[in-house]
Amino acid sequence: MPEAFAAEGFVHCSEPDQVVRVANARFVGRTDLVLLWISVARLTAPVRYENLEGGTELFPHVYGPINLDAVVAVTPFRPDPAGVFDAGTLLRQP
């Protein structure tokens, strides 16, 4: 379970079209990230699409543990040499 779960009560997630933007906003330079490709249909915990920071864009939040059979793939998510993530990385994923 992510550390923030205890404080926030949910797991922050992103849709594929949001991942690069979120990674560049919060994780520039990190080389140890992996993407969990999750099947929402397989999740046993509730998912809510919401924005709790006052914006209009909705993000999926999982309100409980992510069951392992909902994870359909795990892939490394590495930035370029400057530490920036790009959409090309996602195009090579499942």
38: containing domain: 4-81
Mean per-residue pLDDT, 10-17: 91
pLDDT of 84 over the 80 cut? yes
Q: Is residue 8 part of a domain?
A: yes
**What is the rounded end-to-end Cα distance, in angstroms, of the chain?**
24
pTM of the model: 0.81
Q: Which of 22, 16, 24 is nearest to 82 (CA)?
A: 24
Backbone phi, psi, residue 70, to 5°:
-85, -15
pLDDT digits (tens, 9 = 90+) for 37-81: 999 999 999 999 999 888 899 999 999 999 999 999 998 888 888
Q: Supply the CATH number for residue 37's domain.
A: 3.20.170.20
Q: What angle do CA 53, 78, 10 make, to 5 degrees?
A: 30
Q: Is residue 93 part of a domain?
A: no
Which pLDDT score is estimated for 88? 73
Q: Is residue 33 part of a domain?
A: yes
Q: What angle do CA 47, 64, 43 make, to 5 degrees?
A: 55
Q: Is residue 94 part of a domain?
A: no
Q: Is residue 74 part of a domain?
A: yes
Backbone phi, psi, residue 18, to 5°:
-105, -20
